[in-house]
Amino acid sequence: MSVLLLIVGVVLFIGLVVVHEFGHFIVARRGGVEVEEFGIFFPPRLFKRKTKAGWTFSINALPLGGFVKLKGEHDTDIEPGSYGAANVWTKTKIMAAGVVMNLIAGLVLLTVLAFVGIPKLIPNQFTVKSDTQLVSRRTLVSYVLPGSPAAHAGLQPEDEITDISLPGYSPVSVMNADKLPGITKSFAGKTVNIYYARGGQDHETRATLLSTKTVAASKKTNNPKGYLGIIPTQLTLQRSTWSAPIVAVGLSAQVTALTFQGLGHAVAGLGSLIAGAVSGNTAARQHGQTEASSQVAGPVGIFVIMKNGSLLGYQFMLFIIAIISLTLAIMNILPIPALDGGRLWITLISRGLRRPLSAAREEAINAAGFVLLIALVIMITIVDVHRFL
């Protein structure tokens, strides 16, 4: 089941690229601008085919987004049917269309999730309390301390602990992660049965918990221990009815705020990284690298996140896809050269100054932005490989 969900997640992720580029495609054609190519991902090309309408459809190798190539993409192009010949309002609509499509996709996904059961993953996650019902509550293992009773019992991250009991006694439910420390404390020093689920299958194992004396002594050291030796995490699903669209909008606003907060930390970390590298301050450089890389994920990180989400159920997979869609909308509206926002802001500024950029200068700015973007993706991918693999 998890493999199927992962495949569905990858297909939906590709769908976000298609939806984004389709926004550019349809608005450009309605605005009288000719489309030369509709590409999924970035070249080199793996497949291409010319349609009867005269534009080329292509599938490419680098999974970094997609593109719609328009006729005459420079502001100085004046040939009829070219992007350059279009008025500012038409250009603005074309560049903003991808952002709008990703925003709509994210809102639709979050609305559906709010109605069927949405994961509660954000502190103080937005909801309408009068129309919120608890669907399920699960306790998962997020970390297993090496050498702990949990490690000896074979527990792994992503396992769902359902019950704990003394042999021969009725099991105690562990639906609430906050209650787990109290439950294990009550069984301190004893051998217990642990019931858990992994990959959709139920399992049972035994573990001898640490004694109260051992745990208390460890608190005075740099290596404090728990009775079982895991860090649990609470996964809660809650649903709404009439307020589902309101929840989607409110949650989107929260995600947007958190995204900008994360970008702020990433930029500050990148600044520390550069300053540390220039000054030779190793501590500052390492801190900057950690701060910057912890806020972002590249293709490898996204795949790992979707893989982990596939183990938790379709709600978590759809939630991840919705967040990615909103993030794509946010990133593409920012004034980053080579992305939609960068191109739009360049057009607006040049028109405001009444000095259109030359084709050579426009290409140089976008090329520099693209090279910087590729370099950033490569750096993030390297960090992701060390972080996740």
- Average the pLDDT over 161-179 and give the result: 89
Nearest to 89 by CA among 3, 27, 144, 176: 27
pLDDT at 344: 82
The mean-pLDDT minimum among 36-40, 81-85, 227-231, 286-290 falls in: 286-290
Rounded Cα distance, 208 and 127, in Å: 41
Percentage above 70 pLDDT, the chain: 78
pLDDT at 377: 63
363 φ/ψ angles, rounded to the nearest 5 degrees = -65, -40
- Per-residue pLDDT at 36 exceeds 90: yes
* Spatial contact of 33 and 40, defined as CB atoms under 8 Å apart: no
Rounded Cα distance, 67 and 62, in Å: 12
Rounded Cα distance, 82 and 35, in Å: 9
Q: What is residue 206's three-state secondary structure?
A: strand
Tokens for 148, please give them. 């702990």
Rounded Cα distance, 339 and 332, in Å: 6
Tens-digit pLDDT profile for residues 119-156 = 888 878 899 999 999 888 888 898 899 999 999 999 99
* Spatial contact of 350 and 75, defined as CB atoms under 8 Å apart: yes
Rounded Cα distance, 265 and 271, in Å: 10
pLDDT at 46: 94
Pick from 37-51, 73-87, 282-296 the range whose average pLDDT is largest. 37-51
* Spatial contact of 184 and 226, defined as CB atoms under 8 Å apart: yes
Average pLDDT, the chain: 82
- Per-residue pLDDT at 236 exceeds 80: yes
The Cα angle at residue 13 between residues 2 and 333, in degrees rounded to 5: 145
pLDDT at 272: 54
- Per-residue pLDDT at 375 exceeds 70: no
Helix (H) or strand (E) holding 237: strand 230-239
pLDDT at 193: 95
* Spatial contact of 368 and 337, defined as CB atoms under 8 Å apart: yes
Rounded Cα distance, 246 and 111, in Å: 8
User: What burial letters (b/e) apply to 112-144, b meaning 16+ CB within 10 Å?
Assistant: bbbbebbbbeeeeebbeeeebeeeeebbbbeeb
- Per-residue pLDDT at 74 exceeds 80: no
- Per-residue pLDDT at 366 exceeds 90: no
Q: Which residue has the tokens 């190793």?
A: 282
Give residues with Cβ within 8 angstroms of 256, minimum separation 6.
326, 330
- Per-residue pLDDT at 179 exceeds 50: yes
Its pTM stands at 0.78
Tens-digit pLDDT profile for residues 271-313 = 554 444 444 555 544 544 454 444 455 555 555 666 666 567 7
Tens-digit pLDDT profile for residues 309-360 = 656 778 888 888 998 898 888 888 888 777 888 888 877 777 776 666 666 6
Q: Which amino acid is at 79?
A: E
Rounded Cα distance, 281 and 274, in Å: 10
Domains and CATH numbers, the chain: 2-116+317-388 (no CATH), 133-239 (2.30.42.10)
Q: What is residue 205's three-state secondary structure?
A: strand
Please name every residue paired with 40 in a beta bridge, in sequence order, or none if there are none.
59, 66
Residues 187/189/195/196 CA torsion (nearest 10 deg): 110
- Per-residue pLDDT at 254 exceeds 60: yes
Strands 160-165 and 172-173: antiparallel
Percentage above 90 pLDDT, the chain: 39
386 φ/ψ angles, rounded to the nearest 5 degrees = -70, -35
pLDDT at 362: 67
Please name every residue paired with 208 in a beta bridge, in sequence order, or none if there are none.
191
Tokens for 219, please give them. 């608190």
- Average the pLDDT over 33-57 and give the result: 92
Q: What is residue 339's three-state secondary structure?
A: coil
pLDDT at 278: 45
Q: How far is CA 114 from CA 52, 137, 238, 254, 355, in A?
A: 41, 16, 7, 15, 48
Nearest to 17 by CA among 329, 297, 300: 329
Tens-digit pLDDT profile for residues 82-125 = 988 888 889 899 999 999 999 999 999 999 999 999 988 887 88
pLDDT at 285: 45
Tens-digit pLDDT profile for residues 203-226 = 999 999 999 999 999 888 888 889
Rounded Cα distance, 44 and 155, in Å: 44
Positive or negative torsion for Cα 309, 313, 319, 325: positive
- Per-residue pLDDT at 245 exceeds 90: yes
Listed in order, strand segments (DSSP E) in 21-132 are 35-50, 56-70, 118-119
